């Protein structure tokens, strides 16, 4: 309460300083790194001076020397720079309160608690990054935008007036008054769960409590979502990426943005259907089947939450906020919405708007007052996961044209720059995930993940997940051990087919050259077509003609989607490419380009974005403004429906060839080491350009 | 959509009319009774002209000749008054669409559908009361304020754009757009229950649906709470008064304010304790016992809802809104809040603020999207029921000082006028309800409800509930039948003690005059005190000295509370008195004044307010503005805690006498026929005035 009054007078003083009317008893304070400065009466606490100047210093306890968030450094070296000759002694000396804090919780040398440090004369004070509310979190990739910390859930320590029979007012009203007077947090509502424990909590904390306030629940209101007796400082959030195959969760400390624990599990909906469309079919065949899938995904998230909380040694009740991303079908099933409309044209979403709902309404066992934010969907096949990718990769802030590709059963494609953004999805099918491939399997120990084919002998060598040796190295079989070699994972399918193409085993049209059987036992006839044998043992692992066709169809769909967006933007090349998701993390972009999955682009401009959808969820978790941002951006994105674009079919057909008929790959030729006995020549065929390799 | 555009142009036209710049092709329309007028192009639908002039005409279907709410009358008699010579033929003729409506749903002669009637020339149009959105409902009591109809839940028929692959947007977004474009309803959110059925409902209704929008859920947002395929027009709300003894529910049609059905049942919490404090004690003795009581009251409300819906032949899903009132303990138990803090000083409410929560969160089985509004509590012992009484009786709008008294285990007292309002509660105990009275019982068949005592013989006569004869009339015993005479109900206790006083059986100090035993067998000795025998049979029904003491204590508490508020307001009399609740409905105010329950007041200014708390709930149900009003008024009411007011004790002691020591009752003396052998004289005793009756 005092802070309000004092802040008012400090403001007046700051105004006086602006006008040059400085009082004898006033002292100048300069804050670094912001450079903000002002004059305040001698005796003003530094925290209060900072607040009235709008200097970003954190505080949960509101100046009571409990939270230690408001630490400052007295940097003598800085003094001369600002032309102030005064020194550290122009601040009140290290107080008994600070000594107690130091003993209890530790304080680095040179650090002071700004709430306990009074201004005695002119001084320069440094606010270290960890004391700032709006901290910046630098991300691993150099080009990625830093994440600003500005969580939608904030803690506020308050001292609540006790009930007084002479001035009857309810406990809740006095809590609201304390929030307004001590933190300027007004217009708060609360739910019944809070009310249920309110009186007990207040008395248990002897009228000193910590309140968690969500600044924008459904409808836009502020809500008091949790209340603890005394001082409390745990604020965690959960970012969840619901993939068709796996669900990943990141437990994140809201005030720092640090990931405290991560975990992933298989999506239990797999038992209802491997891919999205088979799950939608399941609902069509079993009305009400969506309810089982809804229950299973929610249960899985609760399980993940328990696991990450155990790892981080906190309780699920400490999860105060959550952000969810997922493709439209996952999005609908999580929300308990029947996904059948997404199974057929016109692919209408029930809702594509961002959603904030109480966690308990979604059966999530977090804090009783926690809310869940679900990112907006872009279109019927471009989901909240794609919105997460956008939030992570920022094409809407890019000067040049960026291509974002998130490959799953459908590829979600976003293309553009800050001028214009387009999105579509392309029906790649599950081939890239290793499904519908004869020896395909999920990425797991035993799965082939890398393949090279000798251009002369056509002999393969490969690596499997869980073993560091190549298959032609001594000790490989021993190292692989009992697991053995079990199949080919999605990323290796790309590599082996690209290698088959580079070594001439398959032609530009994707046909396996059976005549090579004479040269190598690796090429064998199977029925009316041929296959390439990677491993003749048990299991027998080969790439069949059907496998090549499946990948051709998938890559043609992906390329045609990209190409369609390029047409709409009227551009003939993209400046940067980000491959998101597990697939994007594992494939060698070189091979993706050899096969023609993505348009030509300087190879150093093609990068994996990692789990960008999950990163987007984390950003929305720690930064309330990022939610506004993505909601605005999603509205701006132009949605292109490939199914109704006649040019999509044309691009699709043309992209069946390897790499494809419409675009040369100058950037690729510089990087890929082509077999020495091959020359690249370009001939014109079918109206498009075509590259042919001669042996 | 067309309505927006057309309204815009009509506004322009109205503006042109204001400036006198009338177009040749424009026609003048005058609406009665509002008197609003404007010029519009020939061909403008009357409904559209009305809307652009702000004339209050209802419509659910938005001008599609479905709802029939927009009916107008072409009143020729009105023409001359407005100096317009034009007649009915200045409107388009009765159309085929109107004929169809007439055949299907009926249309009174002279009535037109304003949405289908076009302006052809100057005309006067009358809007009948039932076509107005903001209808006025006149209440039975002449002095009661009319209720304005302005429900917080409104229906809007909309035509939603179908999904289009060329313009992907989700179904919900198109619903929101239709609400915005066709009804100017913007900023709407919705819950998951709505989303769950959204796609099915839209397709079932062929993209024509009726939306129910709640204009202010928790946090203040608008929420789409229900959606029906096609046109729908049932809007019901439930007003519930949770009394300690009985729970009453009134099913109300929201658009008319009409009560469709009412029902009441015993509060099932009675098995946990007869009165409020015994229920609070139950929780103190049985931690968690509040949960049982919460479940039982919610179950009871669900049962009542089923019953009134059955009576009105609707489904509980048609209940779209509800308003609850109750005293603070009932309020807390209904909300699932532990009431123990209300059991002792400082009597802190968990919350006294008005609450809007989803019905499902309170386990109420109404429409899945329904919300419940709970009126604010005034203080720890002055609950949402007292707020309901205020809303019904409007002391805050009164020029003179009104006293509102709602008697229960505690009496809730509100006193004041539009200048200043005070409230307190007074611990009357349950004596007025017949509890703690030797022969007391609840009002039920067999209970004595009226008593007269002959001044000469001291013989009583009485009436019992369920029988029209007085006990001294022939055939009484036969008429009473098997039920017999079982006890004395609360209102009769007041009467018999007042009659005992008027006939000299008890003195001013409340002592039963044992010497009268010589004169009448009705006065008998029981132990060290005497009693007055009403009925000597089986059961033996008598008024004991303890009974008189209990009533003296109760009436002293009630009077002292009123007196305390009068002191605070510095007034020595009140201008009007309203007695609320069952007790207030049944007692004869004359006897209440003889005993000194209430201060002296002209008898015609003392009235029963009926179930005023329930009426207040009904008002808040049908009028959104009434919710703002009561929330504002409750904040303004000054809460007086009798327990900490030293003067309360003094008033209490002085009020033990009959009527009491501090105030003469000139108004009463004129009305009550005093026994002929008594004279009233006034002596001074104990610093107060005292009236003494001499025999």
Element (H, E) at A188: strand A188-190
Q: Which of A116-130, A612-626, B433-447 has the highest mean pLDDT?
A: A612-626
User: With 70 as the cut, is the pLDDT of residue A673 above it?
Assistant: no
Which residues on A lie below 8 Å from B166 (Cβ)? 641, 644
Greater model confidence, A351 or B54: A351
Q: Which two tokens stand for residue A68?
A: 């230690």
Start-to-end CA span in chain B (Å) = 85
The whole-angstrom distance between B253's CA and the closest CA on chain A is 27
Residue A166 pLDDT grade (very low, low, confident, very high; cuts 50, 70, 90): confident
Look at residue B142 in the predicted model and tell me its pLDDT.
67
Output helix, strand, coil percentages for chain B, rounded to the nearest 5.
35, 25, 40
SS3 assignment, position A691: strand
DSSP label of A605: G
Which residues on B lie below 8 Å from A160 (Cβ)? none
Look at residue A535 in the predicted model and tell me its pLDDT.
93
Look at residue B327 in the predicted model and tell me its pLDDT.
94
What span, in angstroms and rounded, lies between the C-alpha atoms of B278 and B433? 15
Look at residue A239 in the predicted model and tell me its pLDDT.
97
User: With 70 as the cut, is the pLDDT of residue A78 above it?
Assistant: no
What span, in angstroms and rounded, lies between the C-alpha atoms of A686 and B565? 98
State the Cα angle at B143 between B137 and B146, rounded to 5°: 20
Look at residue B88 in the predicted model and tell me its pLDDT.
59
Q: Are B403 and B646 in contact (CB under 8 A)?
A: no
Residue A429 pLDDT grade (very low, low, confident, very high; cuts 50, 70, 90): confident
Q: Are B432 and B407 in contact (CB under 8 A)?
A: yes
Q: What is the dihedral of CA B200, B205, B208, B214, to 10 degrees?
A: -60
In whole angstroms, how far apart are CA A424 and each of A537, A566, A635, B507? 43, 11, 14, 94
Chain A interface disruption, residue of B174, B216, B348, B383, most A CBs within 10 A: B348
The whole-angstrom distance between A197's CA and the closest CA on chain B is 8
Indicate the residue of B173, B192, B643 with minimum beta-carbon distance to A352: B173
Q: Are A10 and A40 in contact (CB under 8 A)?
A: yes
What span, in angstroms and rounded, lies between the C-alpha atoms of B391 and A393? 56
Look at residue A684 in the predicted model and tell me its pLDDT.
36
B244-270: average pLDDT: 92
- Chain B residue closest to A191 (CA)? B357
Q: Are A30 and A81 in contact (CB under 8 A)?
A: no
Look at residue B671 in the predicted model and tell me its pLDDT.
52
User: With 90 as the cut, is the pLDDT of residue B574 above it?
Assistant: yes
Which residues on A lie below 8 Å from B220 (Cβ)? 219-221
Nearest residue to B491 (alpha-carbon basis) of B555, B443, B439: B443
Chain A interface disruption, residue of B219, B280, B631, most A CBs within 10 A: B219
What span, in angstroms and rounded, lies between the C-alpha atoms of B192 and B175? 15
Q: Could B349 and A170 be called an inter-chain contact, meaning their C-beta atoms sit closer than 8 Å?
A: yes
- Chain B residue closest to A216 (CA)? B219
CB crowding A523-546: b at 16 or more within 10 Å, else e:
beeeeeebbbbbbeeeeebbbbbe
Residues forming beta bridges with residue A487, ordered by sequence position: A447
Look at residue B482 in the predicted model and tell me its pLDDT.
83
What span, in angstroms and rounded, lies between the C-alpha atoms of A656 and A650? 10
Q: What is the pLDDT of residues B469-521, one digit of tens each?
A: 999 999 998 998 888 899 998 889 999 999 999 999 999 899 999 999 999 99
Q: Helical H runs in A369-455?
A: 384-393
CB crowding B605-619: b at 16 or more within 10 Å, else e:
bbbbbbbbbbbbbbb
Look at residue B80 in the predicted model and tell me its pLDDT.
45
B49-61: average pLDDT: 89
Look at residue A430 in the predicted model and tell me its pLDDT.
79
Q: What is the pLDDT of residues B390-431, one digit of tens each?
A: 999 999 999 999 999 998 778 999 999 999 999 999 988 878
The whole-angstrom distance between B426's CA and the closest CA on chain A is 14
Q: Which two tokens stand for residue B133?
A: 């959105």
Look at residue B667 in the predicted model and tell me its pLDDT.
67
DSSP B200-226: HHHHHTTTEEEEEEES--TTS-EEEEE
Q: Which two tokens stand for residue A580?
A: 């998101």
The whole-angstrom distance between B341's CA and the closest CA on chain A is 8
User: With 70 as the cut, is the pLDDT of residue B688 above it?
Assistant: no
DSSP label of A545: H
In whole angstroms, how far apart are CA B201 and each of B175, B204, B294? 11, 5, 35
Element (H, E) at B310: helix B289-312
Look at residue A644 in the predicted model and tell me its pLDDT.
86
Which residues on B lie below 8 Å from A196 (Cβ)? 336-338
SS3 assignment, position B233: coil
Q: What is the pLDDT of residues B193-221, one digit of tens each?
A: 899 999 999 999 999 999 999 999 988 89
Which residues on B lie below 8 Å from A170 (Cβ)? 348-353, 377
Quickly tell me which residue has 């890559």 as its tokens.
A555
Q: What is the pLDDT of residues A601-637, one digit of tens each?
A: 888 899 989 889 999 999 999 999 999 999 999 999 9
Which residues on B lie below 8 Å from A220 (Cβ)? 219-221
Nearest residue to A374 (alpha-carbon basis) of A384, A361, A360: A384
Q: Could A335 and B195 be called an inter-chain contact, meaning their C-beta atoms sit closer than 8 Å?
A: yes
Nearest residue to B155 (alpha-carbon basis) of B87, B254, B76: B254
What span, in angstroms and rounded, lies between the C-alpha atoms of B160 and B691? 77
The phi, psi pair for A434, rounded to 5°, reads: 90, -5
In whole angstroms, how far apart are CA B534 and each of B453, B489, B493, B516, B527? 10, 13, 11, 15, 18
Largest CA distance in chain B: 103
CB crowding A264-300: b at 16 or more within 10 Å, else e:
beebbbeebbbbbbebbbbbeeeeebbebbbebbbeb
Q: What is the pLDDT of residues B328-375, one digit of tens each?
A: 999 999 999 999 999 888 999 999 999 999 999 999 999 999 999 999
Task: Tell me if the bond preceding B201 is cis, omega within 30° of 0.
Answer: no
Q: Could A349 and B218 be called an inter-chain contact, meaning their C-beta atoms sit closer than 8 Å?
A: no
What span, in angstroms and rounded, lies between the C-alpha atoms of A51 and A61? 14
Residues forming beta bridges with residue B113, ordered by sequence position: B71
Output helix, strand, coil percentages for chain A, rounded to the nearest 5.
35, 25, 40
Largest CA distance in chain A: 103
In whole angstroms, how far apart are CA B70 and each of A249, B65, B254? 55, 9, 17
Average predicted confidence (pLDDT) for chain A: 87
């Amino acid at each position: 309460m005092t802070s309000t009054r004092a802040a008012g007078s400090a403001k007046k003083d700051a105004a006086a300083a602006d006008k040059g009317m400085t009082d004898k008893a006033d002292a100048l304070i300069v804050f670094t790194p912001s450079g903000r400065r002002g004059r305040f009466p001698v005796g003003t606490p530094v925290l209060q001076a900072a607040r009235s100047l709008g200097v970003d210093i954190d505080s949960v306890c509101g100046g009571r020397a409990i939270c230690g968030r408001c630490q400052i450094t007295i940097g003598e070296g800085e003094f001369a720079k600002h032309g102030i000759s005064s020194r550290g002694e122009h601040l009140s000396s290290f107080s008994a309160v600070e000594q107690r804090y130091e003993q209890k919780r530790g304080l680095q040398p040179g650090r002071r608690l700004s709430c306990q440090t009074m201004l005695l004369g002119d001084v320069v004070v440094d606010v270290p990054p960890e004391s700032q509310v709006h901290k910046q979190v630098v991300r691993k990739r150099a080009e990625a935008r830093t994440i600003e910390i500005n969580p939608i859930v904030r803690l506020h320590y308050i001292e609540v007036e006790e009930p007084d029979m002479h001035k009857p007012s309810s406990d809740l009203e006095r809590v609201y008054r304390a929030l307004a007077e001590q933190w300027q947090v007004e217009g708060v509502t609360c739910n019944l769960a809070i009310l249920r424990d309110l009186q007990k909590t207040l008395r248990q904390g002897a009228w000193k409590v910590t309140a968690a306030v969500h600044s924008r629940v459904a409808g836009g209101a502020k809500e008091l979502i949790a209340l603890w007796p005394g001082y409390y400082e745990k604020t965690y959030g959960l970012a969840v990426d619901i993939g068709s195959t796996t669900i990943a969760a990141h437990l994140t400390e809201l005030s720092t943005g640090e990931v405290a624990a991560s975990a992933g599990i298989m999506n239990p909906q797999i038992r209802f259907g491997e891919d999205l469309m088979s799950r939608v079919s399941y609902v069509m065949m079993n009305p009400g089947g969506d309810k089982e899938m809804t229950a299973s995904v929610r249960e899985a998230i609760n399980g993940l939450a328990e696991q990450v909380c155990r790892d981080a040694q906190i309780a699920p009740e400490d999860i105060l906020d959550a952000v969810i991303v997922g493709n439209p079908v996952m999005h609908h099933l999580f929300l308990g919405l029947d996904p059948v409309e997404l199974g057929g044209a016109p692919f209408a979403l029930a809702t594509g708007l961002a959603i904030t709902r109480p966690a308990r309404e979604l059966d999530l066992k977090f804090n009783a007052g926690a809310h869940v934010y679900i990112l907006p969907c872009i279109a019927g096949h471009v989901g909240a996961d794609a919105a997460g990718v956008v939030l992570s990769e920022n094409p809407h802030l890019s000067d040049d044209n960026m291509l974002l590709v998130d490959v799953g059963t459908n590829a979600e494609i976003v293309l553009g720059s800050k001028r214009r953004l387009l999105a579509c999805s392309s029906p790649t099918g599950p081939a890239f995930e290793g499904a519908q491939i004869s020896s395909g399997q999920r990425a797991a120990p035993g799965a082939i993940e890398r393949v090279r084919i000798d251009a002369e002998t056509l002999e393969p060598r490969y690596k499997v997940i869980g073993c560091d040796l190549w298959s032609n190295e001594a000790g490989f079989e021993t190292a692989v051990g009992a697991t053995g070699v079990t199949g080919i994972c999605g990323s290796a399918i790309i590599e082996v087919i690209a290698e088959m193409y580079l070594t001439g085993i398959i032609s530009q049209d994707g046909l396996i050259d059976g005549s090579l059987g004479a040269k190598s036992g690796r090429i064998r006839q199977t029925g009316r077509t041929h296959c390439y044998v990677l491993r003749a043992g048990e299991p027998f692992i080969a790439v069949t003609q059907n496998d090549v066709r499946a990948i051709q169809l998938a890559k043609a769909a992906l390329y045609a989607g990209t190409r369609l967006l390029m047409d709409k933007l009227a551009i003939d090349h993209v400046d940067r490419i980000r491959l998101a998701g597990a697939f994007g993390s594992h494939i060698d972009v070189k091979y993706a380009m050899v096969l023609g999955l993505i348009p030509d682009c300087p190879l150093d401009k093609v990068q994996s974005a990692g789990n960008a959808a999950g990163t987007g969820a984390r950003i929305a978790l720690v930064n309330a403004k990022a939610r506004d941002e993505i909601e605005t951006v999603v509205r701006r994105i132009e949605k292109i429906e490939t199914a109704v674009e006649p040019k999509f079919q044309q691009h699709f057909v043309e992209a069946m060839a390897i790499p494809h008929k419409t675009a040369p790959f100058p950037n690729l030729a510089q990087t890929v080491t082509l077999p020495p006995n091959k020359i690249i020549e370009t001939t014109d065929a079918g109206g498009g350009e075509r590259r042919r390799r001669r042996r």
